[in-house]
Amino acid sequence: MKEFQRESPYPMAPIEDAHRIIAAHSNPLATETVSSLTAYGRVLAEDVAAPEAIPDVPKAAMDGYALRAADGLAERRVLAELTAGMLEGLTITPGAAVRIMTGAPIPRGADAVIQVELTEEHDNILRIQSPVPVGNNIHTVGQDIALGEKVLVRGAVLGSAEIGLLATVGCTQVSVYRRPRVAVLATGDEVVEPGAPRSPGSVRDSNRYALLAAVHEAGCEGFSLGIVHDDPDAQRQAILRGLAQADVLLTSGGVSMGSRDLIKPLLAELGIIHFGRIAFKPGKPTTFATIAEDRLAHADLAFAQEHALTVPRLVFGLPGYPVSSLVSFEVFVRPALRRLQGDARPERPCVRVALLDAIHPARDRPAYQRVIISWRDGRLVARSTGAQGSSRLLSLRGANGLLLVPPGEQVYAAGAELEALALGAIEVEASSV
Ligand code: AMP
Ligand code: MG
């Protein structure tokens, strides 16, 4: 029987060092050209400029009549009707006008549009209630987008507005960063499939499914490597299988001090461990390693070569406790996955919140406590999700913030202010609307 190791050989990396080390290994992946119109969620790998001004010709901004402002209040003859998309060779001479619909090009000679509500027309004779200035209701060339204007820059995430911009400037193909492929492996003799029969003491594998969902939310292609027992050969084989197919491997469990915690020695054998512990809570044993492709000697690398997987591969050994595993993912893995995709803003925003409950720090390490952030009476407030145990997944339910609590003995009273990472939408409380 293997003896307990009583002291970890790995120093605890401060949070900032851990971030810096991971970021140094998270370079944007190769780019690929995709159809812009369906590229929702992707990250642009190039700047996009408008090849034409928008609008390209002056257009009516309202339904009404295009006329010459200098004619003042005089009656006009109505020559024709122009609708959006019509480009007639018509010229508006003094005393003339055309009926014009929103979006229709302004005919030559006209320099203003009067909206229909301010007019009367009988037998093709137009009367207007008030004179209009030159340029009235005319949508000028380049008013929305100037010729050559940079509409999007490299590193931008394509949301609905960005897809609309690509469509409007006629950019149907665009260069984006490849999505990282992320393999997720659960370890543990006690860990079972959530749908499988369970013996007393076993634990349903929540980590692998929660991590796969988080990987997907982070814009990556995730795939499962299943559950592997606490056996070094089985774990080595699973790690190699994962790294043959993925840019990034996430493991769950097996990184603490137990006799069956095998992940760290295996990563040390296969590659370089950059840190084996982080000075934070929950998730102290979180481990980060890189593994060169030539160390994957036993794996079939045809897939890796075809997909140009990143070299070296990144491995995050995440803790087994469900909260530790997800919080560690959120704080350390997610920014790396966003960096691999070239996201110009890989970090979650950090906000200042006022506490609604007293918060007890950890004595020796900064802690990320789960909170619900909302907007109340003109400021952001944070309510604790309750008991913060590393196994209590309920502490993450509904949490849209991770409160950064500095270590120490003092209690932060309700009303004190701390920083928090904002993970999602912030609700406005009814009383404060
Ligand atoms: P370990 O870090 O492997 O010692 O795991 C610590 C604890 O986390 C275990 O005792 C389990 O209760 C729990 N755990 C480990 N793996 C998982 C998993 N995949 N899903 C849910 N809980 C897990
Ligand atoms: Mg374990």
Task: Give 102-111 pLDDT, tens digit per residue.
Answer: 999 999 999 9
Residues 333 and 379 in one domain: no
Q: With respect to residue 187, please indicate whether it lies within any of the assigned structural domains.
A: yes
Which residues constitute the domain of residue 256? 15-30+179-340
Tell me the pLDDT tens digit for each residue of 331-388: 999 999 999 999 999 999 999 999 999 999 999 999 999 999 999 999 999 999 999 9
Least distant ligand from the CA of 257? 1
Exposed/middle/buried for residue 202 (C-beta within 10 Å: 0-12, 13-18, 19+): middle
Residues 414 and 299 in one domain: no
Least distant ligand from the CA of 192? 1
Average pLDDT of the residues in 143-163: 98
Distance from Cα 318 to the centre of ligand 1, integer Å = 10
Exposed/middle/buried for residue 137 (C-beta within 10 Å: 0-12, 13-18, 19+): buried
Distance from Cα 254 to the centre of ligand 2, integer Å = 4
Q: 169 CB under 6 A from ligand 1?
A: no
Residues 162 and 195 in one domain: no
Task: Please say if the pLDDT value at position 432 is more than 60.
Answer: no
Residues 173 and 219 in one domain: no
Q: With respect to residue 7, please indicate whether it lies within any of the assigned structural domains.
A: no
pLDDT at position 85 is: 83
Domain limit, last residue, from 177, 193, 226: 177
Number of domains in the chain: 4
Q: With respect to residue 189, please indicate whether it lies within any of the assigned structural domains.
A: yes
Ligand 1 atom having least distance to the Cα of 319: 2
Average pLDDT of the residues in 15-42: 98
Task: Please say if the pLDDT value at position 30 is more than 90.
Answer: yes
Domain limit, last residue, from 291, 315, 340: 340
Residues 99 and 246 in one domain: no
pLDDT at position 1 is: 63
Q: With respect to residue 304, please indicate whether it lies within any of the assigned structural domains.
A: yes
Percent of the chain with pLDDT over 70: 98
Task: Please say if the pLDDT value at position 7 is more than 90.
Answer: no
Q: With respect to residue 419, please indicate whether it lies within any of the assigned structural domains.
A: yes
Residues 360 and 379 in one domain: yes
Average pLDDT of the residues in 270-287: 97
Average pLDDT of the residues in 202-209: 98
pLDDT at position 87 is: 72
Residues 236 and 220 in one domain: yes
Average pLDDT of the residues in 125-149: 97
Average pLDDT of the residues in 179-191: 98
CATH number, domain of 315, equals 3.40.980.10
Q: 319 CB under 6 A from ligand 1?
A: yes
Tell me the pLDDT tens digit for each residue of 207-246: 999 999 999 999 999 999 999 999 999 999 999 999 999 9
Residues 364 and 410 in one domain: yes
Task: Please say if the pLDDT value at position 431 is more than 80.
Answer: no
CATH number, domain of 378, equals 2.40.340.10
Percent of the chain with pLDDT over 90: 93
Q: 191 CB under 6 A from ligand 1?
A: yes
**Calpha distance 405→366 (Å, rounded):** 6
Residues 187 and 271 in one domain: yes
Q: With respect to residue 6, please indicate whether it lies within any of the assigned structural domains.
A: no
Q: Which residue's CA lies nearest to atom 3 of ligand 1?
A: 253
Q: With respect to residue 4, please indicate whether it lies within any of the assigned structural domains.
A: no
Residues 41 and 155 in one domain: yes
Q: How far is CA 190 from CA 221, 228, 233, 317, in A?
A: 27, 10, 18, 18
Residues 308 and 376 in one domain: no
Distance from Cα 322 to the centre of ligand 2, integer Å = 12
Q: 253 CB under 6 A from ligand 1?
A: yes
**Calpha distance 198→186 (Å, rounded):** 16
Q: 426 CB under 6 A from ligand 1?
A: no
Average pLDDT of the residues in 421-427: 96
CATH number, domain of 166, equals 3.90.105.10
Domain limit, last residue, from 340, 373, 401: 340
Mean pLDDT rounded to a whole number for the chain: 96
**Calpha distance 114→97 (Å, rounded):** 10
How long, in residues, is the chain?
433
**Calpha distance 135→372 (Å, rounded):** 51
Task: Please say if the pLDDT value at position 300 is more than 90.
Answer: no
Q: 322 CB under 6 A from ligand 1?
A: yes
Task: Please say if the pLDDT value at position 397 is more than 70.
Answer: yes
Residues 276 and 197 in one domain: yes
Q: With respect to residue 281, please indicate whether it lies within any of the assigned structural domains.
A: yes
In contact, 200 and 192? CB cutoff 8 Å: no
